[in-house]
Amino acid sequence: MIELTDVHKSFGENEVLKGITASVQKGEVVCIVGPSGSGKSTILRCINGLESYDRGEISVEGLKVDRDAPSIVKIRTQVSMVFQRFNLFPHRTVLENVIEGPLYVKKEPRAHALERGRALLVQVGLAEKADAHPPQLSGGQQQRVAIARALAMQPKAILFDEPTSALDPELVGDVLGVMRKLADDGMTMVVVTHEMGFARDVADRVLFIDGGVIVEQGPAKALLNQPQHPRTQDFLRRVLHPL
Amino acid sequence: MKGFWHDAAEFFPILMSGVVLTIVVTIGSLLLSTVLGLVWAMMRVSGIRVLSMLSASLINVIRGIPIIVLLFYLYFVMPDLGVTLSALQAAILGLGIAYSAYQAENFRAGIEAIDKGQIEAAQSIGMGWWLTMRRVVLPQAVRIVLPPYGNVMIMMLKDSSQASTITVAELALQGKLIASSTFKNTNVFTLVALMYLTMSIPLILLVRHFEKRAGKK
């Protein structure tokens, strides 16, 4: 449902994506791993038009991603995003954060949006925090609210941009737990992450990206357990055995 | 001192009629400058080059002209161009335009202080530019903008006295008229000063309240 064909992207002189070709099938969980600065996040940001790309083509369910075209709104309501730094709206309560999109973008009736918003908070284990404001929550709780906000749009896919990188280690598990449940329920997910355990257990496929190109890709377990390319081997060694 | 209270009692009703006009001019130009300032600020952050450059140059032109000259222009020059304004209209328009430049810069600073992640989050749930502004950016910017906005209110209250130069009989002009006819300069202008101060104090307290609230989060 998500297709990238020879996507190039530069920031000034710096070419961060040097021809990315990949696809994500419906119901698939794809993890993107690689060293920082390799262009992982940029790929996600291009898919829902937060960044433009210079060459190649990205399409979501056959619809070309062009951040300057009106169709971008349709794409964004179908492909939600969860950010590294949560980006919840601090001036609204947890529940208001979740129903903001359904109410103002999709124009759902308020009662309907509220009901589903509460159900989503139950799903991420935060029903009792509905009336709290985001700054009162821990990072892990905030990220789970952000996932509920993404789900509230009833998206066909969710993009996760390093969703646990800003969390204290003991809070990572809760967020990964919610994501694992989503994967089990058949949600299409593209996850940029450094959590190799999550990638191995939950992902169907892993893409290893370095220097703006896909160095290696394949089924999660195979790629993470027996990487073929020396750069993948080197990266995984350093991530899994930092000392 | 006894003479002062006697004069105060005598001149107070006349000066109060000036206070009314002072308040009308202040509120009128405050509203106008807020609306215009918002428009300039929105143009500035619209991301559309033509609009943002137009707004930037407009702000610089307005900032570069003294308020008093702006008032003279509206009141004395516009009739030559076929537009006749009453003194009060010219005063509100002039002060409103003059202050819109400062309001715009204040609003723009508040809008630009909002974390880019907030805008991206709004976009990622499909919000367009205007919805992002209305639901995400502006409500958060208000908190940042309010303390300087309060200071602008105080400055406008005092600068409304410049309307006296185009015959608006507000507080300062009423004081000047009484003083020149009674020669009681000390008592009259002390009273005028005290009346301005009395009007400023609630605003000063309001600014302090805004600042405390903004500092909390």
**pLDDT computed for residue B213 by the predictor:** 80
Tell me whether B48 touches chain A (CB under 8 Å): no
What is the number of other CB atoms lying within 10 angstroms of the CB of residue B207? 19
**pLDDT computed for residue A241 by the predictor:** 83
Euclidean distance between the first and final Cα of chain B, in Å? 49
For the segment A111-166, what is each residue's pLDDT rounded down to a tens digit?
A: 999 999 999 999 999 999 999 999 999 999 999 999 999 999 999 999 999 999 99
Name residue A32's beta-bridge partners.
A192, A207
What is the number of other CB atoms lying within 10 angstroms of the CB of residue B146? 19
Chain A residue at shortest CA distance from B119: A87
Q: How far apart are CA A185 and CA B124, in angstroms?
A: 22
B216 band by pLDDT with thresholds 50, 70 and 90: low
Burial class (CB in 10 A: 0-12, 13-18, 19+), B211: middle
Cβ-Cβ contacts under 8 Å for A80 (sequence gap 6 or more):
A149, A150, A151, A153, A155, A157, A158, A159, B124, B125
Contacts of B143 in chain A (CB under 8 A): 91
Burial class (CB in 10 A: 0-12, 13-18, 19+), B4: middle
B20 band by pLDDT with thresholds 50, 70 and 90: very high
Tell me whether A147 touches chain B (CB under 8 Å): no
Average pLDDT score over chain B = 92
**pLDDT computed for residue B214 by the predictor:** 73
Are residues B145 and B107 in contact, defined by beta-carbon separation less than 8 angstroms? yes
For the segment B149-162, what is each residue's pLDDT rounded down to a tens digit?
A: 999 999 999 999 99
Q: How far apart are CA B33 and CA B59, in angstroms?
A: 12
Q: Quick check: B1 pLDDT over 80?
A: no
Chain B from 86 to 125: CB within 8 A of any A CB: 115, 117-118, 120-125
Are residues B206 and B192 in contact, defined by beta-carbon separation less than 8 angstroms? no
Cβ-Cβ contacts under 8 Å for A164 (sequence gap 6 or more):
A143, A172, A175, A176, A193, A194, A195
Q: Could you please report the per-residue DSSP string of chain A? A: -EEEEEEEEEETTEEEEEEEEEEE-TT-EEEEE--TTSSHHHHHHHHTTSS--SEEEEEETTEE--TTSTHHHHHHHHEEEE-TT----TTS-HHHHHHHHHHHTS---HHHHHHHHHHHHHHTT-GGGTTS-GGGS-HHHHHHHHHHHHHHT--SEEEEESTTTTS-HHHHHHHHHHHHHHHHTT-EEEEE-S-HHHHHHH-SEEEEEETTEEEEEEEHHHHHHS--SHHHHHHHHHHH---
Tell me whether B47 touches chain A (CB under 8 Å): no
Closest Cα in chain A, distance from residue B146 (Å): 15
Subunit contact B117:A49, Cβ cutoff 8 A: no
Going A10 to A15 to A16 to A17, the CA torsion angle's sign is: positive
What is the number of other CB atoms lying within 10 angstroms of the CB of residue A191? 28
Q: Quick check: B2 pLDDT over 80?
A: no
Q: Quick check: B217 pLDDT over 70?
A: no
Q: How far apart are CA A61 and CA B65, in angstroms?
A: 56
Average pLDDT over residues B77-97: 94
| Strand A14-24 with A2-11, pairing | antiparallel
Closest by Cα among B103, B109, B105 to B31? B103
Euclidean distance between the first and final Cα of chain A, in Å? 40
Average pLDDT over residues B77-92: 93
Chain A from 19 to 78: CB within 8 A of any B CB: 48-50, 73-74, 76-77
Note the ipTM here: 0.91
For the segment A18-32, what is each residue's pLDDT rounded down to a tens digit?
A: 999 999 999 999 999
Share of chain B above pLDDT 90, in %: 82
Q: Quick check: B33 pLDDT over 60?
A: yes
Q: Name residue A145's amino acid.
A: V
The whole-model pTM stands at 0.84
Q: Quick check: B215 pLDDT over 80?
A: no
Q: How far apart are CA B131 and CA A77, in angstroms?
A: 14
Subunit contact B117:A85, Cβ cutoff 8 A: yes
A144's tokens: 């789970």
Average pLDDT over residues B196-211: 91
Q: How far apart are CA A30 and CA A28, in angstroms?
A: 6
For the segment B103-118, what is each residue's pLDDT rounded down to a tens digit?
A: 999 999 999 999 999 9
For the segment A65-76, what is each residue's pLDDT rounded down to a tens digit?
A: 998 888 899 999
Average pLDDT over residues B126-140: 93
